[in-house]
Amino acid sequence: MSRNEKLDCLKKLQVILQKKFVLEDKIKAIPADLKAEEVQLKSVREKYQALSDFYENLQSEQKSLAIKYDDAFNKRIEYEKQMEFINTQREFEALTKQLEEARISEQSFLKMRNSKTNELEKVREELESQKTELDALEEKVNQEKSKVDSEISAINDEISTLDEECAAIKGDVISDDLYEKFSNIVKKKDGFGIVPVYGQVCTGCDLILPVQFVIDLDMKSENGEIEYCPYCSRIIYKETLDEDVERSYTFEQLESQKSEGKTTSHDESASGESDNYDESMGMDEEFEDF
């Protein structure tokens, strides 16, 4: 019995596509740890930036206090010099008062400047320690990133090789459209885009197909046509087993569906009950095209 060449091709493609999609999932999973570290890095960087801004403000406050102190200091020196040149008691009293005020002001600015300098020093230390933490984290994230990049590029190389294998198998036997559609089914249906029908049962979804549908399916396969399961949208083909085995396989499914309360009449199951049918695949109108 000459089987459908397309079906053989699709079975081979399925094996490779399964590997390909496992690799694609792997790529998606890899950067998860990196993402968490990048989020952490962003928050540490923001914290550092905020402290750095605060430090700059302190610096300019400290600078301004230092200038005010210097002015007060110079003023006091100036008054002390003037003391040497006073002539009257009145001048002496006035200058003494000014000198006293200058001293108070000088002391007050000195105190403020020193306190600001101390605060500045503390923040500078904190800033330094945050910078160390930030640098270490940055280094870690960069290393992780380049590790992830090389892992991803290695996997992408593997995927390219698998794509080439697929292209070689596909040849002219499988049209680009069918290949794309099939690849999509394999991806969406957990790696199984082409499955055999045992007896009347689609082994992809375990639902029972109408008798006439299965008879037609066998003929279509012989004619090189592609048929899809009306319930789960997988490509199906009839695999002839020992008659007793086929019958008992169908019977078992029938029994199990009965016990699950599913409708098993052909008419109803063909029109509805398609809980496994994936509308998003949009193949219902194109079933006959291949």
Report if residue 205 touches Zn ion, rule: CB under 5 A: yes
Q: Which is nearer to Zn ion, 174 or 232 (CB)?
A: 232
Report if residue 109 touches Zn ion, rule: CB under 5 A: no
List of residues 6+ apart from 137 with CB closer than 8 A: 37, 40, 41, 44
Beta-bridge partner residues of 235: 194, 228
Q: Which is nearer to Zn ion, 174 or 229 (CB)?
A: 229
Of 229, 249, 250, 257, the one binding Zn ion (CB under 5 A) is: 229
Report if residue 182 touches Zn ion, rule: CB under 5 A: no
Q: Which is nearer to Zn ion, 72 or 230 (CB)?
A: 230
To Zn ion, the closest distance from the beta carbon of 202 in angstroms equals 3
Q: Which is nearer to Zn ion, 24 or 216 (CB)?
A: 216
Q: Which residue has the tokens 């750095």?
A: 52
The Cα 262–Cα 186 span in angstroms is 26
Both structure tokens of 106: 């000088």
Report if residue 231 touches Zn ion, rule: CB under 5 A: yes
Site size toward Zn ion (CB under 5 A) is 6
To Zn ion, the closest distance from the beta carbon of 150 in angstroms equals 41
Beta-bridge partner residues of 228: 235
The Cα 141–Cα 38 span in angstroms is 7
Both structure tokens of 258: 């009965």
To Zn ion, the closest distance from the beta carbon of 266 in angstroms equals 14
Chain center to CA of 277: 29
To Zn ion, the closest distance from the beta carbon of 205 in angstroms equals 3
Report if residue 186 touches Zn ion, rule: CB under 5 A: no
Both structure tokens of 287: 């079933």
Report if residue 232 touches Zn ion, rule: CB under 5 A: yes
To Zn ion, the closest distance from the beta carbon of 224 in angstroms equals 21
* Contact of 169 with 162, CB cutoff 8 Å: no
Phi, psi torsion values for 272, nearest 5 degrees: -135, -145
Report if residue 199 touches Zn ion, rule: CB under 5 A: no
Report if residue 72 touches Zn ion, rule: CB under 5 A: no
Of 16, 162, 202, 235, the one binding Zn ion (CB under 5 A) is: 202
Both structure tokens of 79: 């008054």
The Cα 244–Cα 249 span in angstroms is 8
Residues lying near Zn ion in the complex (CB under 5 A) are found at 202, 204-205, 229, 231-232
